[in-house]
Amino acid sequence: MTNAATQSKPLHIGNAARLGMEAALLASRGLEASTLILDSTPGCSGFSAFYNYYLPQALPSPEEQDTRFLLEDQDIAFKCFPAHLGMHWLADAACSARELLVNTVGGFHPSMIQSILMRIPLSKYINRPFPESEHQARHSFQFNACTALLDGEVSVQSFSPAFLDRPELLGLLSRVRVEHPQDNPANFNKMYAEVLLTLTTGNVLKGRCDTFLWTLDTLWSCDSLLKKFRANAGAVLPGERVEAIIDAVENIEDMQDCSHLTMHLESRAS
């Protein structure tokens, strides 16, 4: 967790996947290694040599009992925008508060807001009042809430340098106050987010989000997924190739091989 909210965390994940693939390919070509590396065997300095609490246990075979893997039961979730997962609760709450403001006064302007109170879980590495980089912004409760208030959404473009330094955004960030209620743990299954706007008129408007909504079978429609893909892929590929990829994926069951798809995935430089 020391590397959480740094660029090293995704690098470590990608490197682990790369090394796993490399190990599988080497093994398929006959490279040999110790078969006891994951066993707790006297005289064998395997995994337990560095982790003295490592106590491997044999898993029952599928024939012995009805075993299911976690991945078989987990739902598929899609992030609405490229930021820490907890940011989605807060952005949703901020959008709800903004909608209330628009419906109350008929419009929105940052000057209408006197102060912003955020009730969020206690999580130090994503409590960043004034992020100074794109990566810090992706891990800032304050930035994502204020961006959602200002724009009515958080998108890929929200983390660009031009959007980070907007005077209107910095003004909203300076009005933020944070609370950590005891009943709001840093747990994706139990947390919630509240955004309370105190207006210059004295009125208080509250937006709240209790759950992560962006799952395959709830808020995300096919159109929403296509919109996100076009926005992301369009940053590196021309529009006609983006549409060709969409068409290939939608008809992938009818393909004899994947060459038609991979042809459109080549980088711009090629």
pLDDT at 218: 52
Residue 97 has pLDDT above 60, yes or no: yes
pLDDT tens across 225-267, in order? 888 889 888 888 899 999 999 999 988 888 888 888 888 887 5
pLDDT at 55: 79
| Cβ atoms 118, 208 nearer than 8 A | no
Number of Cβ atoms within 10 Å of the Cβ of 118 = 21
The one-letter amino acid at 260: H
> Per-residue DSSP letters for 77-106?
B--SSSS-THHHHHHHHHHHHHHHHHHHHS
| Spatial distance between the Cα atoms of 218 and 84, rounded to a whole number of angstroms | 20
pLDDT at 214: 56
pLDDT at 220: 59
Chain centroid to Cα 186, Å, comes to 15
Hey, what are 181's tokens? Answer: 């209620």
pLDDT tens across 124-181, in order? 888 899 998 888 999 999 999 999 999 999 988 899 999 999 999 999 999 999 999 9
* pTM attached to this predicted model: 0.75
Sheet holding 176-179, edge to edge: 176-179, 113-119, 193-199, 204-209
More confident residue, 157 or 199: 199
